[in-house]
Structure 1
């Protein structure tokens, strides 16, 4: 008669190795990928009036012009609309 304990220990070792392998593969697969950023094109807003103080206001105006983003830039504080090239 075979001892039951040996069979259980062997099964536990196999299960542990498989679990470790699975977790390793999961970790490798879920590693965060670094996105490569492309160039950003800028254009002065044609609708923004006055001195640009808040970039959030500039971004809102730029979105109305079809751009995804906008920022206040430069010494003259102009609203510059931005989009990926």
Structure 2
């Protein structure tokens, strides 16, 4: 049981790392300073249906599963 939890936690950890690295950065850098910030566009109005939103949801699910696996590993000891 303990080995299976360790393997599952390792797989979830790798998936979590990859998903976090795939997410785009939230900062505009100097372009936000020069242009005065973000503007309204079709993309900004429909963010809930984009790949960015999907990556965010996958990150949350993986983080919750990772936390549950950590707790289960401590209980199984």
TM-score by length of 2: 0.35
Greater percentage in helix = 2
TM-score by length of 1: 0.32
Q: Which has the higher contact order (CA 8 A, sep 6+)?
A: 2
Greater percentage in strand = 1
